[in-house]
Structure 1
Amino acid sequence: MYESFRPLRGASNPHIQTLLPRLVRRHAKLKPHWQRLDTPDGDFLDLAWSEDPQLARHKPRMVLFHGLEGSFYSPYAHGLLQAWKDRGWLGVVMHFRGCSGEPNKLQRIYHSGETEDARFFIRWLNETLGDVPTGAVGVSLGGNMLACYLGQEGENCTLSAAVVVSAPLMLEPCAYRLEQGSSRIYQRYLLDQLKLNASRKLAKYPGTLPVTLAQLKSMRRLREFDDAITSKAHGFADALDYYRRCSGLPLLSQVRTPLLIIHAKDDPFMTADVIPKAEDLPDCVEYQLTEHGGHVGFVSGSLRNPQMWLEQRIPAWIAPYLEQEAPTKEAKL
């Protein structure tokens, strides 16, 4: 059943919506079960589970791919893991390289189109914990990455269903948007987080980034970071080349997995360029564009009882694909 979003009364402003989750979900109620997974190239991924996966391997699984410099401690991440645990599902946050609080070892880091770690992790899940219904949610950068992954995998995707939230599906116009008006506040915050993380990495593993500390400190735009670090560490010519080759929107036509995409019209990180044309979407992709919600905000309810709408909408939409009465993927398509 289609569930619309109504913002908390008096809090429809996009900036208020974007910031509210940090107040509503200030502390995680869930104590995560941490695990370190070695990658084939000699690096590692840190996993935050909703419970011990060995004791819950029979349960339906939900994977969360976080946003830029996000982690389990991002309000949407631990909130969704708790919601999934309450449904009787096993949830896990796969931290992108260097995002769990400890710098990763190699030069490569992560970016909006880096799908190899997700591919490795999803395969590892099935091989290690068994083949049970598995869904995935990608938020912001993680949402664009998940869209790329689903498009690349096509018919071969093993996920039962997926949800993409507030994703910059066209990276270039979104990068420019963050350089304009009040959106520059978010650019400054994200860039500060990136620079802090990169500084830690330079201190622990000198020479693993293609910049000096002085060059890093002088950066003022996300595009400069992507020009100097993201693109160079991953074989792109420059930031523009990275943005154009790693946007998820052009790959949506190749998706064959049931997918819900949620965007807010007033998202201060986005432009209308991220909105797909209905005729370009395959039947398995459902697109929900809300009037309000900001960037990964979507806070409804009342001041006395605020509700995190994503924690209701996502489990409700994906449940039929994860639970026993679910239609098969073939039947849905």
Structure 2
Amino acid sequence: MLIDGDFRPAWWLPGAHLQTLAPTLMRRRPPIPLGRQRLELPDGDFIDLDWAPPQPGPRVILFHGLEGSSRSPYAGGLMRRLHDQGFQALTMHFRGCSGEPNRLPRSYFAGDTGDMAWLVDHLLRQEPTRPVAAIGVSLGGNALLKWLGETGPDNPLAAAVAISVPFDLDRSARRMEQGLSRFYQWYLVGRLKRSALRKCRLMPMPLDCAALPRLRTFREFDDAVTAPLHGFAGVDDYYSRCSCRPYLRRIQRPTLILHARDDPFMTPETVPTPDELSPSIRLELSRAGGHVGFVEGVGRYWPERRIGDWLGEIL
């Protein structure tokens, strides 16, 4: 189902770029203490979890966006809202995103569903009767939706939410090479290169580390780094196999997707059409909101309100 979202932007933050940048520049992290837990993975690597204080309700995992963490502007607000509603909230850091490089040359990518599947299985083995839901933001949302589609009726989640998802990775990458969106690309590709260079100093890497400073776009970085590190033939193979859009019809768990038509990380054509959505999906498409912005007013953010209400009904 595709419907109009009820988000209305703050009058003093018009436009996609102000909505996108305002939370990063203005938002303070809500005062919620987090506890760190490290889990050892079967391949010898690790993932770090940040847990909100204990609550008795269903567990809700936050999968952050590209180069994000539990310290991302949206993460603290979502964790606070979930905690206040009685959910047990936690953030799973993708490999290398918790402040410490991971142990293996591989990192994480937009279709990286293995670690999230392993974590959910781990949590359900601990407490089989306690439901687990998940929220994926941007890149994390793409991976979450892909996993839901891959597993269909066998997916173990009770519910899922995705925010500002790059449904078509190729179109999204090309959009980032245009206009003011090049600023976001410059910033994020810069962070990706710094992370990769740091690992080059720590361990042998199966890529040309000397070429990293010359990479300027997402397509260049993903072709030179992401694809070879994770078993893809090149950037086009990676984008084709990891975009979540072809998987949406197969999703069979209650799923809410929040998205803005003016998201500067992608074009309007990136958004799936109603016939591409399974009956389990509710895609709420707002006219404005930018990329993971959705500022309604001072200290008020649409995803926190909407996700809190929806998960409260579903769970």
Shift of 1:133: 2.0
- 1:180 is matched with which residue? 178
- AA aligned to 2:258 is I
Shift of 1:2: 8.4
The runs of 4+ residues in structure 1 deviating greater than 3 Å are none
Shift of 1:198: 1.3
User: Do the aligned partners of residues 131 and 25 (structure 1) sit closer, same or farther apart at CA in structure 2, a change above 3 Å counting?
Assistant: farther
Shift of 1:132: 1.2
- 2:122 is matched with which residue? 124
- 2:187 is matched with which residue? 189
Deviations 1:65-98 (A, max 9, x none): 1100000000111110011011111111110000
- 2:306 is matched with which residue? 313
Query: Residue 95 of structure 2: which of 94, 97, 103 is its match?
Result: 97
- AA aligned to 1:223 is R
Question: Structure 2 unaligned runs (5+)?
Answer: none
- 1:210 is matched with which residue? 207
Query: Residue 227 of structure 2: which of 205, 215, 231 is its match?
Result: 231
How far apart, CA to CA, are the structure 1 residues paired with 2:118 and 2:59?
A: 16
Q: Please show how residues 38-53 of structure 1 align to structure 2 within 5 Å.
A: 38-52=40-54
- AA aligned to 1:210 is L
Check whether the contact 1:264–1:295 (CA below 8 A) recurs between aligned residues: yes
Query: Residue 7 of structure 2: which of 2, 5, 8 is its match?
Result: 5
Check whether the contact 1:25–1:79 (CA below 8 A) recurs between aligned residues: no
Q: Please show how residues 286-325 of structure 1 align to structure 2 within 5 Å.
A: 286-301=282-297, 305-322=298-315
- 1:37 is matched with which residue? 39
Check whether the contact 1:5–1:300 (CA below 8 A) recurs between aligned residues: yes
Q: Secondary structure at the match of 2:107?
A: coil
Check whether the contact 2:148–2:252 (CA below 8 A) recurs between aligned residues: yes
How far apart, CA to CA, are the structure 1 residues paired with 2:129 and 2:199?
A: 36
Check whether the contact 2:58–2:130 (CA below 8 A) recurs between aligned residues: yes
Shift of 1:209: 4.7
How far apart, CA to CA, are the structure 2 residues paired with 1:170 and 1:272?
A: 11
Deviations 1:287-329 (A, max 9, x none): 111010000000012xxx331111111110111222xxxxxxx
- 1:330 is matched with which residue? none
- 1:17 is matched with which residue? 19
Aligned: 1:278 with 2:271: no
How far apart, CA to CA, are the structure 2 residues paired with 1:209 and 1:12?
A: 45
Shift of 1:238: 0.6
- 1:326 is matched with which residue? none
- AA aligned to 2:44 is G
How far apart, CA to CA, are the structure 2 residues paired with 1:257 and 1:293?
A: 26
Shift of 1:28: 4.0
- 2:61 is matched with which residue? 63
Deviations 1:4-63 (A, max 9, x none): 1010112121100001112442334112110001101000000011125xxx4x421111
- AA aligned to 1:41 is D
Q: Which moved more, 1:269-278 or 1:100-109?
A: 269-278
Check whether the contact 1:166–1:264 (CA below 8 A) recurs between aligned residues: yes
For the aligned residue pairs, the C-alpha RMSD in angstroms reads 1.5
How far apart, CA to CA, are the structure 2 residues paired with 1:209 and 1:268?
A: 33
- 2:264 is matched with which residue? 268
With normalisation by structure 1, the TM-score equals 0.91
Q: Give the number of equivalent residue pairs.
A: 313
Check whether the contact 1:71–1:99 (CA below 8 A) recurs between aligned residues: yes
How far apart, CA to CA, are the structure 1 residues paired with 2:105 and 2:197?
A: 13
How far apart, CA to CA, are the structure 1 residues paired with 2:263 and 2:149?
A: 24
Q: Secondary structure at the match of 2:180?
A: helix
Q: Secondary structure at the match of 1:105?
A: coil
User: Do the aligned partners of residues 3 and 168 (structure 1) sit closer, same or farther apart at CA in structure 2, a change above 3 Å counting?
Assistant: closer
- AA aligned to 1:237 is A
Check whether the contact 1:112–1:142 (CA below 8 A) recurs between aligned residues: yes
- AA aligned to 2:183 is I
How far apart, CA to CA, are the structure 1 residues paired with 2:285 and 2:4?
A: 12
Question: Structure 1 unaligned runs (5+)?
Answer: 323-333
- 1:166 is matched with which residue? 164
Check whether the contact 1:170–1:273 (CA below 8 A) recurs between aligned residues: no
